[in-house]
């Protein structure tokens, strides 16, 4: 009898070990969109709104989805965004959290925890954009390129970016220790993160692979993108507003000096600006100067040193083209123009720039559900890419959003009461958030991947998430 009991005990232990082993293999093979994670709503509010405690406490207790409400008020002064619900500091619980409302301080706390827990399940950090970041005219003013840079500088190689997310969903264990940034909130900002709109794009490429693109908004505002060409792909770095006008063109030399020309917004005067492209992709611009009258200007450097210029435009009153020659003086950030004369030469093709075997071509056209004014780029190796911010963050699709935001979206979201939307999105293989998930009765089958609650330590939530197999 004793030997039988011992044998049964050994068999039971072996069965348990086998079960644990099988579960471990299942977790290892579990695709990321199939996993369930503990999540909090308005995570920064701690115990001021709900019962969540500090960010670190939440992470220590298995929360793997953190929500931060973000404002851009005061970015130009603070050089950072601010945390808060309806305004910076609103409903923010500083107990156990950073004393400031600055986003970077909060991200550093999350990053430190992530660095110390490399085996933790992937952590989603969601930014609920409470303000429109598209009205910030530059990186220095806090546009979406600045938010990208902050994410990269804080989380570094732990980031799992949208642009690097594999075509086939990764397994859960393959992405442990990684941080997935997610944009939510202001719809205009989320849309512009994925594509930009414009008219009359022009481009210049130099031998170092630096790129400058300029275009007008269609309503008299001039914008630029800068980027780099590498192995046939363009990575866009900075974006900003630089003037008013229309029909711009640009020339760029190998030293990073550029000359831009454009027509005035409501007249036929022609203007130019000199710029200097920095290694970070930012442009330092000189003042705008008038040099002639006419329409549809084009410009190019004509010598290897990148100091001699030629500008060709059309007369404002006929089909006649006119030419200027010029010399760039980088010391004064000005061009000395000379030799204004009629010419039979065609205007330069401002939409295409070729250096050696490398070429870049810019144009506008719809990409699926995006508008016909979507800015696009072709190279000698790839066609049809969008001109847009680096896709560092994922872009959330919420119930009621446009088809643009739904296109290719991995993350879906809705209030926890929207059970049909949540279950449909889960069945389609999406990572789904249901916010204000504050009673067990809101549970769906299948469950939201991120049931975001204000009460993560209540017995009903712990019991439910344990039953659902939530991972840590």
CATH code assigned at 54? 3.20.20.190
- Dihedral through CA 430, CA 435, CA 438, CA 440, nearest 10? -10
Last residue of a domain, one of 355, 386, 417: 386
Residues 252 and 350 in one domain: yes
Instruction: Note the pLDDT of residue 28.
Output: 59
Total domains, the chain:
2
Instruction: Note the pLDDT of residue 29.
Output: 80
Burial class of 174 by CB neighbour count within 10 A (0 to 12, 13 to 18, 19+):
middle
Q: Which residues contact 442 (CB under 8 A, 6 or more apart)?
A: 416, 417, 419, 434, 451
Residues 267 and 373 in one domain: yes
Let me know if residue 264 belongs to a domain: yes
Let me know if residue 9 belongs to a domain: no
Which stretches of the chain score pLDDT less than 50?
Answer: 1-26
3-class DSSP state of 314: strand
Distance CA 435, CA 416 (A): 5
Residues 217 and 363 in one domain: yes
Instruction: Note the pLDDT of residue 5.
Output: 42
Residues 272 and 313 in one domain: yes
Residues 211 and 256 in one domain: yes
DSSP class of residue 374 equals B
Residues 336 and 395 in one domain: no
Sheet holding 385-386, edge to edge: 352-355, 358-364, 375-379, 385-386
Residue pLDDT, tens place only, 182-234: 999 999 999 999 999 999 999 999 999 999 999 999 999 999 999 999 999 99
Instruction: Note the pLDDT of residue 21.
Output: 32
Residue numbers of the domain that contains 114: 35-191+391-468
Q: What's the pTM value of the predicted model, to 2 decimals?
A: 0.92
Residues 379 and 414 in one domain: no
Neighbours of 447 (CB within 10 A): 22
């Amino acid at each position: 009898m004793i030997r039988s009991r011992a044998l049964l005990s050994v068999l039971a232990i072996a069965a348990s070990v086998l079960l644990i082993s099988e579960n471990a293999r299942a977790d290892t093979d579990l695709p990321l969109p199939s996993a369930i994670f503990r999540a909090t709503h308005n995570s920064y509010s701690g115990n001021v709104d709900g019962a969540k405690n500090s960010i670190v406490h939440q992470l220590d207790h298995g929360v793997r989805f953190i929500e931060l409400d973000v404002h851009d008020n005061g970015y130009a002064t603070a050089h950072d965004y601010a945390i808060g619900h309806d305004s910076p500091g609103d409903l923010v619980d500083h107990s156990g959290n950073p004393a400031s409302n600055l986003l970077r301080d909060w991200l550093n706390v999350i990053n430190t925890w992530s660095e110390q827990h490399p085996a933790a399940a992937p952590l989603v950090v969601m930014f609920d954009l409470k303000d429109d970041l598209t009205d910030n005219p530059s990186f220095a003013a806090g546009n979406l390129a600045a938010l990208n840079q902050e994410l990269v500088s804080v989380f570094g190689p732990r980031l799992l970016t949208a642009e690097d997310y594999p075509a086939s969903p990764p397994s859960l264990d393959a992405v442990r220790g990684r941080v997935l940034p997610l944009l939510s909130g202001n719809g205009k900002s989320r849309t512009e993160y994925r594509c930009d709109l414009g008219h009359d794009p022009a481009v210049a490429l130099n031998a170092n692979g630096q790129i400058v693109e300029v275009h007008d908004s269609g309503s008299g505002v001039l914008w630029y993108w800068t980027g780099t060409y590498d192995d046939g792909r363009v990575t866009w770095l900075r974006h900003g507003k630089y003037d008013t006008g229309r029909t711009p063109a640009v020339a760029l030399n190998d030293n990073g000096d550029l000359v831009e020309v454009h027509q005035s917004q409501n007249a036929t005067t022609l203007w130019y600006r000199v710029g200097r492209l920095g290694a970070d992709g930012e442009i330092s611009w000189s003042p705008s100067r008038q040099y002639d009258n006419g329409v549809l200007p084009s410009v190019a450097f004509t010598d290897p040193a990148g100091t001699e210029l030629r500008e060709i435009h059309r007369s404002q009153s006929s089909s006649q083209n006119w030419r200027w020659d010029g010399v760039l003086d980088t010391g004064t950030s000005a061009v000395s123009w000379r030799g204004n004369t009629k010419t039979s030469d065609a205007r330069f093709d401002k939409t295409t720039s070729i250096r050696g075997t490398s070429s870049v071509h810019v144009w506008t056209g719809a990409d699926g559900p995006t508008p016909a004014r979507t800015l696009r780029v072709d190279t000698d190796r790839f066609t049809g890419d969008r001109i847009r911010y680096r896709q560092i963050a994922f872009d959330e699709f919420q119930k009621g959003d446009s088809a643009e935001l739904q296109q290719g979206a991995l993350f879906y979201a809705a209030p926890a009461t929207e059970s049909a939307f949540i279950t449909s999105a889960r069945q389609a293989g999406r990572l789904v958030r249901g916010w204000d998930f504050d009673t067990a009765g809101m549970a769906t089958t299948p469950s939201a991947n991120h049931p975001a609650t204000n009460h993560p330590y209540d017995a009903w939530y712990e019991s439910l998430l344990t039953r659902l197999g939530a991972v840590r």
